[in-house]
Amino acid sequence: MPRRSDRSPWWKGPRGEAWVIAQFLLLLTMAVLPPTGPALPVGLHFLAWPIGFSGLILMGLGAVALGSSLTVLPRPKPGGRFVAEGIYRVVRHPIYDGVILLALGWAVWRTSLLHLALAAILALFFQAKARREEEWLVERFPEYADYRRRVRAFIPWIY
């Protein structure tokens, strides 16, 4: 694993620390920002719980499948293993999917177009983070390249 020079700040570390900070800031913004501007129809409230709960299930399935290889950092853990079973047979990034669904559920619950826009930004962010993460995964696990050709990133059989 590349080593960080003594002069570079910790958040520019070689394991993707900056990605985690950006992710935290996006999620914190969604959590604390009050709904402003145009609102979603209040009648959509009933969708918030199933969307959010689906996100929690995906996150849980992804975390359980990764086991001790789970890390919040995008670079694979030293000693981590390549996981292509369980939910990872269906999508490559179930935890990111889960966080996106949770954010979408939150936006619907808040009936906020602003929060819906932030959920869309979060989805784009995870797409970029996943691309970087997959570069590291291919470096570490050459079989990941074949896995990437077979299994969709975020939406089963579609994307």
Secondary structure (DSSP) of 115-134: HHHHHHHHHHHHHHHHHHHH
List the alpha helices (DSSP H) in 33-112: 45-66, 94-110
Domain ranges (residues) in the chain: 42-69+83-159
pLDDT tens, N- to C-terminus, the chain (159 residues): 455 455 555 556 688 899 999 999 999 999 999 988 778 787 888 999 999 999 999 999 999 999 999 999 999 999 999 999 999 999 999 999 999 999 999 999 988 899 999 999 999 999 999 999 999 999 999 999 999 999 999 999 888
Tokens of 154: 């975020």
User: What architecture is domain 42-69+83-159?
Assistant: Up-down Bundle (1.20)
CA dist 84 and 92 (Å) reads: 8
